[in-house]
Amino acid sequence: MPLDYKIFKPIADNQEISKNQNYLDFNPHLLFLIDRVDEGDKELTHSILKMVGELSAQRLAPKAEANDREGCRLQWRVGEFRLSPEEFFLFQELIELKIPSDKISEGVVDQAVQAYAADNDLPIFSEVLLPEGAQEQLRLLREQDLFGVSLPEEYGGTSLSQMVGGAVLLMIAQADASLFLRVMLTEGVGDLLDNFADVSLKEKYIPLLCSGDPENNYVGAMVITEPSAGSDFRGMVVKAIKKGDKYLIGGRKIFITNPDADVSIVLSRIDGAPLDSLKGLTLFLVPKYLADENGKKIRNRIIIENLENKLGIHASPTGTMLFKGSEAFRIGEEGEGLEQMLTLMNRSRLGIGIQGLGVAERAFLESATYCMERKQFGKILAELPLMQEILVDMRIEIEAATSLIFRAYHFMDKYFGLREKALLGELSDSEKIAMEKYYKLLRILTPLAKYRCSKLSVSIADRAVSNLGGYGYISEYKVERLIRDAKITTIYEGTNNMMALDVQRSIANEGTLDEIMADIDSTLEEIADQQLIPYKNRILESVEYFKDRAEKVSCSEDRSISSQVEAEKFAEILITVFEASLMLEEGQYLIEKENDWRKAVMAMKYIDDNFLPLEQKLTLKLLSRKYFDSIFYGKTLSVL
């Protein structure tokens, strides 16, 4: 069915939402990818995704702008008194000055000081206040059981495949990239515990993280970054000291999303391990609450020192956490933290890629809707030839990146499936080989997908703002938020530079190049249509050249300066070749199955644009003009 972007009218704030809005309806490509390979119950998958698409478009999205404007606030509590950071600063000054209590009587700060002077046992702590709309959105997500969808059912999750879980997160990010972080990180923490923690920790915490109780607001945080340790973990100084069967953590972690988390996973250096090295890094679970000797709930010694003011994702709190001898439980063995963290990063990095893609989808939708409405030179913008070229390119790039990241999710599902069998000792020899293959494919596709989707997010949001002209730049229209929200995806969970270097590391240390090249070859083997063969040959020529360069650039333990200099170009070429082969194969598949040439035309344009030398780029084929209705409105194309 052709897409009717007008359903997403009106696009300005505070107007009514159409009841037909469902993000899934505007992303048939997503269902196409899932239906082709996912082994779960199709009916259940469709009904969950349809529910999430509707919830995201109709209930979550309308709150995002107000949440963004309201932002998060830090509040200090001195007993029953609630103080803003400025008031708390004053409170501390007054305590220092030791002013006699009879001189203090007015205002909340003075009253707090008076109460404190009278009762030194008063609890003092800080807490995060989320925007009101965000709290309501979180309750809705809990009610629909959308926390921990890919975590095991035995701990309260839904056991959906990683692929379907990725699609759920994509639509939540499309509605609100800040809200997405609350859900994604909580699931990530549950996943880490499921993989590495003792049964007692799993049983205690995972069900709380997955809970469908709307009054439960248990969330997780991944706590790694320190002032001197960003991309390079060797600079970590936050220390863990063993005390009996527990540990005490001391030090400061910065830029932490969800610093108010109930369950924080903290990477910390075991006391005595050498500084400026990766030795002794260990993961700990640090709960917000503990129980005292009488079983009474008490706060762990964690202070949220501040919240950052930042460019985007205003409804997601980012802050400094000060651990003051906080009680912690070790996860796995001492010194294994880095390895555990890196294993789990596949999932969180794909998660951030999905966040970027969600923002890109939303920016496309907002700009498509606008271009259907706005008239200039006597026509709607979507009829102007240059605008058609821009809209078509946006759509093609989004679908190409979606194919790439969901291919990574597919390999993750395959790998996890076999790993489960391996843990039970039930793997055949051929399955062992397959598991190794899926691991390597996932290993290289993860940084590639994170790099691609985050960079695309910024670029699509940029074009969306341009498509709205002056209206794109003002905050009344949503693309202004989207361009601010997009940028962070290129920075956290590893910057794009680190992703590009990681691609090379995976090739040099884990031999991933042969696997990805074999995967590209087998994808291209499917291309048989005479009109597609020249495009396939063009990709194959590039592949040959690339293989030769790749071996020289990357296959060395001690990566050379030239390989670092060219790491970004290397990643981009690999992404282009991989996406082109996927799109062409999808084109071939749909021609055979449904006599639909839409995907094939999109692949042709992608290959012309990316593989032709500069002097041949002006092909005069005008594919975006000829096939605009099919690509933009998703109409079936039965003849070329």
Ligand X SMILES: Cc1cc2nc3c(=O)[nH]c(=O)nc-3n(C[C@H](O)[C@H](O)[C@H](O)COP(=O)(O)OP(=O)(O)OC[C@H]3O[C@@H](n4cnc5c(N)ncnc54)[C@H](O)[C@@H]3O)c2cc1C
The residue ranges that bind ligand X (CB under 6 A) are 221-225, 230-231, 255-257, 310, 318, 488, 491-492, 495, 497-498
- Alpha-carbon distances, residue 17 vs 52, 173, 372 (angstroms): 16, 18, 17
| Radius of gyration, alpha carbons of the chain | 26
Query: At its nearest, how many Å lie between ligand X and the CB of residue 313?
Result: 6
Please tell me the total number of residues recorded for the chain in this structure. 640
Report H helices in 424-478: 429-467, 470-473
* Helix H or strand E segment including 83: strand 81-83
| Residue 65, both tokens | 């702008």
Please say which residue, 318 or 576, places its beta carbon nearer to ligand X: 318
Query: At its nearest, how many Å lie between ligand X and the CB of residue 226?
Result: 8
Q: Which residue is nearest to ligand X (CB)?
A: 230
Please say which residue, 101 or 564, places its beta carbon nearer to ligand X: 564
Which SS3 state, helix, strand or coil, does residue 123 take?
Answer: coil
CB atoms near residue 207 (< 10 Å): 18
Query: At its nearest, how many Å lie between ligand X and the CB of residue 56?
Result: 22
Q: First vs last Cα of the chain: how many Å apart?
A: 19
Please say which residue, 142 or 487, places its beta carbon nearer to ligand X: 487
Please, are residues 595 and 524 in contact by the beta-carbon 8 Å criterion? no
Query: At its nearest, how many Å lie between ligand X and the CB of residue 242?
Result: 23
CB atoms near residue 542 (< 10 Å): 17
Query: At its nearest, how many Å lie between ligand X and the CB of residue 312?
Result: 8
Kindly compute the dihedral angle of the four CA atoms of residues 286, 291, 292, 294, in this order, to the nearest 10 degrees: -170
- Alpha-carbon distances, residue 130 vs 182, 212, 217, 476, 542 (angstroms): 11, 20, 12, 22, 50
Query: At its nearest, how many Å lie between ligand X and the CB of residue 267?
Result: 8
**Residue 64 burial (C-beta neighbours within 10 Å; 0-12, 13-18, 19+):** buried
Query: At its nearest, how many Å lie between ligand X and the CB of residue 225?
Result: 4
* Single-letter residue type at 124: I
Please say which residue, 222 or 400, places its beta carbon nearer to ligand X: 222
CB atoms near residue 563 (< 10 Å): 21
Distance CA 37, CA 35 (A): 6
Please say which residue, 53 or 251, places its beta carbon nearer to ligand X: 251
Please say which residue, 222 or 381, places its beta carbon nearer to ligand X: 222
Please say which residue, 224 or 460, places its beta carbon nearer to ligand X: 224
Please say which residue, 165 or 494, places its beta carbon nearer to ligand X: 494
| Residue 327, both tokens | 């009680």
Query: At its nearest, how many Å lie between ligand X and the CB of residue 490?
Result: 9
Query: At its nearest, how many Å lie between ligand X and the CB of residue 492?
Result: 4
Please say which residue, 225 or 624, places its beta carbon nearer to ligand X: 225
